[in-house]
Amino acid sequence: MLLISYLLYKRIIEKKEGENSVQRAIVLAGDNGYMEKLEVTIKSIVATNSQIIFYVINDNLPQEWFWLMGRRLESVQSQIRNIKISSDQIKGYSLPMDHLSYATFYRYFIADVVTEDRALYLDSDIVVTGDLTPLFEEDIENHALAAVTDGLDASKFNAGVLLVNTVLWREEKASHQLLELTNRYHQEEFGDQGILNRYFKGRWKKLPEVYNVMVGMDTFAHTFNVPEWYDKADQLEKDAVIIHYAGEKPWYQWNLNRCRDIWWFYYGLEWSEILLRKDITKRHFKDLVGRPKFQTAVFTNSAAMEHIETLVEALPNVQFNILAYTNFAPSVIALEAYSNVSLYPRFTRYNAQAVLDKLDFYLDINYHEEIYDIIQKVTALKKPIFSFDVTNHCGIEGDSHCFHVEDIDDMIGVIQEYLAQLS
């Protein structure tokens, strides 16, 4: 049985009728486990947008969180609504992925809880990096919704970002219809997204991809050898207004996808900076946390990297990026105890290039075979290579420095001299 808080909904209507200012409706959904993710999404929105009414559909978020959020949002002429929905029916539906929650089906009720004529629904694994005004001004009068095509199937839309014609949804009792369809097809469709596409087939408007840049497609493109994706994705990343972490989430342990640092930037951004309208749009995550000044890398499929821990300890002003085609052994994972170590298991062309673009020098210290033609790539970049006689893959190619395996202090000294020249 579905229960929507009617009294709260009635108060929303009454309040809306008494408001003179034009406010835009944004709908979010989640459960207690996603509370901090919801907050990141909200922070990113109000960093560049004002006059928003947030409707947060949930069944277990604490009231205290809404009190705090409401007080913060007053400073940007915005509000937040605690929309409680409880449904055993929803909890029984099949989900296509383990990380998904039954809360994903809450988007069915957008038009039932929003009083505005249109509403923007956003998943809670999203950050907004620009002005949403042009999106809200999209003409959807003759469409049930507007959305971006799904990365896997251009004939369907991705349900993570939906600009909803709530008038039409209410007229045709869309929530009821969607529940009926889900009862029949939830075991064969791709969750609520599959049901939404089934119900609104041929009745949706295609939005520009900048309104739902689906981070995670790099992994897909790498796995299925779709190299043309990368050039397209690089441009989309620059133009993105809404970034959707549809693959591996940025709060997971490993560095797998692009725009990870953008999510962490908004996570770490103080509310005071947002509400005081400080210039935050040109800043980056590294500005918040103060990362090492220099960058090095090791591309390896072996856990055996000569003197790696000694080098990490001796060079705290260097970020050590370690990349492998495979998952890492426990001995490598343990290196994350050092804040200047970043691990990239199962790396893709994207994160390999991101590391190479900021490389100051390369460490040829891994045993066994060279991978990714890395020596040739680093040589082409005209970056120095430091190796040991027992790990050397480059011979005398390029600007290479090879040391006897016992001369680790000499290597550290030469690297420090080189970095001093860069400062």
In this prediction, residue 319 carries a pLDDT of 97
CA–CA distance, 25 with 9 (Å, rounded to integer): 14
pTM across the whole model: 0.84
In this prediction, residue 226 carries a pLDDT of 76
Residue 233 burial by Cβ neighbours in a 10 Å radius (0-12, 13-18, 19+): buried
> Average pLDDT of 66-81?
96
In this prediction, residue 371 carries a pLDDT of 97
Backbone φ, ψ for residue 259 (5° rounding): 65, 10
In this prediction, residue 16 carries a pLDDT of 45
Give the CA count within 13 Å in the CB-facing half-sphere of 307: 23
List, in order of start, the domains of the chain with CATH numbers: 3-268 (3.90.550.10), 293-422 (3.40.50.2000)
Mean pLDDT of the chain: 88
> Average pLDDT of 209-237?
81
Supply 306's token pair: 């000569």
Would you place residue 95 in the very low, low, confident or very high pLDDT band (cuts 50, 70, 90)?
Answer: low
CA–CA distance, 285 with 366 (Å, rounded to integer): 30
Cα distances (angstroms) measured from residue 178 to each of 75, 189, 197, 198, 199? 37, 12, 10, 9, 7
> By three-state DSSP, how is residue 89 classified?
helix
In this prediction, residue 1 carries a pLDDT of 41
CB proximity list for 394: less than 8 A, separation 6 or greater: 364, 375, 379, 385, 387, 400
In this prediction, residue 225 carries a pLDDT of 76
Looking at this protein, which amino acid is placed at residue 165? N
In this prediction, residue 187 carries a pLDDT of 63
Where do we find the tokens 């609504």? Answer: 81
Condensed to tens digits (0 to 9), the pLDDT of residues 391-422 reads 999 876 667 899 999 999 999 999 999 999 99
CA 137 to chain centre: 25
Supply 87's token pair: 């449904």
CB proximity list for 293: less than 8 A, separation 6 or greater: 317, 318, 423
Would you place residue 298 in the very low, low, confident or very high pLDDT band (cuts 50, 70, 90)?
Answer: very high
DSSP 8-state class, residue 66: H
CA–CA distance, 8 with 361 (Å, rounded to integer): 60
Supply 354's token pair: 């991101």
> Average pLDDT of 61-72?
96
> By three-state DSSP, how is residue 2 classified?
coil
In this prediction, residue 281 carries a pLDDT of 58
Condensed to tens digits (0 to 9), the pLDDT of residues 317-356 reads 999 999 999 999 999 999 999 999 999 999 988 889 999 9
CA–CA distance, 57 with 106 (Å, rounded to integer): 7
CA–CA distance, 202 with 219 (Å, rounded to integer): 30
Which of 184 and 312 is assigned the larger pLDDT?
312
**Would residue 364 be called left, alpha or beta, if left means φ above 0 and alpha means ψ between -120 and 50 degrees?**
beta
Condensed to tens digits (0 to 9), the pLDDT of residues 5-63 reads 434 444 444 444 444 456 899 999 988 888 999 999 999 999 999 999 999 999 899 99
In this prediction, residue 230 carries a pLDDT of 77
Return the minimum-mean-pLDDT range out of 167-181, 205-219, 356-370: 205-219
CA–CA distance, 405 with 411 (Å, rounded to integer): 10
Would you place residue 193 in the very low, low, confident or very high pLDDT band (cuts 50, 70, 90)?
Answer: confident
Listing from the earlier edge strand, what are the strands of the sheet with 204-206? 3-4, 79-86, 52-58, 24-29, 118-122, 161-165, 145-147, 204-206
In this prediction, residue 276 carries a pLDDT of 80
Percent of the chain with pLDDT over 90: 66
In this prediction, residue 101 carries a pLDDT of 57
Supply 190's token pair: 């791709």
> Average pLDDT of 72-94?
81
Condensed to tens digits (0 to 9), the pLDDT of residues 137-181 reads 999 999 999 999 997 678 899 999 999 999 999 999 999 999 889
